[in-house]
Amino acid sequence: MKMPSDVPRYVIALGSNRPGRHGRPGAELAAALGAIGGARAASRVMTSAPIGPSIRRFANQVAIIESDERPLDLLARLKAIEAAFGRRPGQRWGSRVIDLDILLWSKGAWADRRLTVPHVAFRDRRFVLDPLRMIAPDWRDPVTGLTIRQLHYRACAVDRMARPS
């Protein structure tokens, strides 16, 4: 019998900047988190400016889920949830009713042509690191060995340096 600590955990990023059948973006996140299931922790919903061509602000959240699924199986399930919520392929970084990404996996790193874990850009994205620091500050990035708290500090330092004096 598996002990609860033996069940693999994933960090999932959830984002929305367009209303859907569940309501406004925050309601879409809540419904998607319920559809994913297995949540052990979830950050509060935070808003962020869009990246790319979209003009709508994003509602963002991260969650830690427990799942025995292999990374590619979980990816397929997340893509099916996105499709069920009305997400359609389109412009990169455009408006979307829901966006679900695997950020981290408790078993370390995973890479093939369809999926890379840890997510290749998560270390630089405050809209991911801000809520992730709330629920998993000591989770270590398997590539850099740094904790989420350390990655967050670095991202904040970069933001401070980028601002005009």
Based on the residue annotation, tell me whether 18 is a catalytic residue of this protein. Answer: no
DSSP reduced 3-state for 85: coil
Residue type, 161: M
Selected catalytic residue, list 96, 123, 125, 133: 96
Pairing relation of β-strands 58-66 and 99-105?
A: unpaired
Based on the residue annotation, tell me whether 68 is a catalytic residue of this protein. Answer: no
Based on the residue annotation, tell me whether 96 is a catalytic residue of this protein. Answer: yes
Based on the residue annotation, tell me whether 87 is a catalytic residue of this protein. Answer: yes
Selected catalytic residue, list 9, 99, 123, 130: 99
Selected catalytic residue, list 9, 18, 87, 123: 87
Residues facing 61 on adjacent strands? 14
Pairing relation of β-strands 116-117 and 110-111?
A: antiparallel
- Specify the residue for token string 């979209």: 54
- Specify the residue for token string 């455009």: 94
Q: Please give the sequence-ordered ranges of beta strands (E in DSSP) within 8-119, or none if there are none.
A: 9-16, 39-42, 46-48, 58-66, 99-105, 110-111, 116-117
DSSP letter, residue 53: T
User: Which amino acids are annotated catalytic?
Assistant: 87, 96, 99, 101
